[in-house]
């Protein structure tokens, strides 16, 4: 369902990150009122974000409180999750702590966000999760990371059917490698040599365009 973002209240989780900041900027340019849920508010762009709440995405209680806080100001029309972590290395190199962190941030947190926000998202609204290309095209040397993203993709695909009666679009975005610098901030391992990726601005623009157009899925090919 196509939508006009003018005056709509959209929550961006991870709006202080490289990609999240560009998504917030494009949403604001389309007329949306953008709230942020972040760990560190000092890096937020005040020109794009009008309010924020603090939360670690792995803290369920903090997420519940954050969504309740932003929803108390205005009903939520949409949510975008732009948070995530990455790790590199063969399966024999992935320790328990890394595995747990990957799934906590990339799989469990998006599901909790969707659970906590679904009741507060207005009918005809949307929820976007950025799982990335590895969700459906897993990569050797990134098995655990790929699996964590695939888990989120599966959850989004199922919940999209659950929320269809309310015309809420649950959109899974799977852009190819994007130059956010995330690979240099891996929680474990060293990134292999990668081809030059897409710019964060181009990916953000495509995601917001999909929200406006009412697209229900953003596979890797959609970013070509």
- Kindly report the CATH number assigned to the domain that includes residue 117: 3.40.50.720
Does any domain span residue 3?
A: no
pLDDT digits 0-9 by tens, 59-87:
999 999 999 999 999 999 999 999 999 99
What's the domain count of the chain? Answer: 1
Is the confidence at residue 148, as pLDDT, over 90?
A: yes
pLDDT at 1: 74
- Asked whether the whole model's pTM tops 0.85, one would answer yes
Residue 4 lies in a domain: no
**Residue 168 backbone phi and psi in degrees, to 5:** -90, 120
- Is residue 209 in a domain? yes
Range of the domain at 55: 9-223
> Is 167 a member of any domain?
yes
Residue 212 within any structural domain of the chain: yes
Instruction: Render pLDDT for 15-43 as a digit per residue (tens, 0 to 9).
Output: 999 999 999 999 999 999 999 999 999 99
> CB–CB of 198/206 below 8 Å?
no
């Amino acid at each position: 369902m196509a939508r006009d973002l003018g005056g709509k209240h959209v929550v961006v989780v991870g709006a202080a990150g490289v990609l999240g900041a560009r998504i917030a900027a494009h949403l604001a340019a389309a007329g949306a009122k953008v709230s942020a849920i972040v760990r560190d508010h000092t890096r937020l762009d005040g020109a794009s974000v009008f309010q924020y709440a603090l939360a670690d995405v792995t803290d369920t209680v903090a997420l519940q409180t954050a969504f309740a806080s932003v929803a108390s100001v205005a009903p939520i029309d949409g949510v975008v999750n732009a948070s995530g972590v990455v790790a590199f290395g063969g399966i024999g190199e992935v320790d328990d702590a890394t595995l747990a962190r990957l799934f906590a941030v990339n799989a469990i947190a998006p599901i909790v966000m969707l659970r906590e926000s679904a009741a507060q998202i207005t009918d005809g609204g949307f929820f976007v999760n950025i799982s990335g290309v590895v969700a459906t095209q897993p990569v050797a040397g990134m098995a655990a990371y790929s699996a964590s993203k695939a888990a989120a993709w599966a959850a989004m695909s199922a919940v999209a059917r659950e929320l269809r009666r309310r015309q809420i679009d649950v959109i899974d975005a799977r852009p190819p490698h994007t130059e956010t610098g995330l690979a240099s901030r891996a929680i474990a391992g060293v990134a292999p040599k990668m081809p030059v990726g897409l710019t964060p601005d181009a990916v953000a623009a495509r995601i917001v365009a999909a929200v406006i157009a009412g697209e229900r899925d953003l596979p890797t090919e959609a970013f070509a």
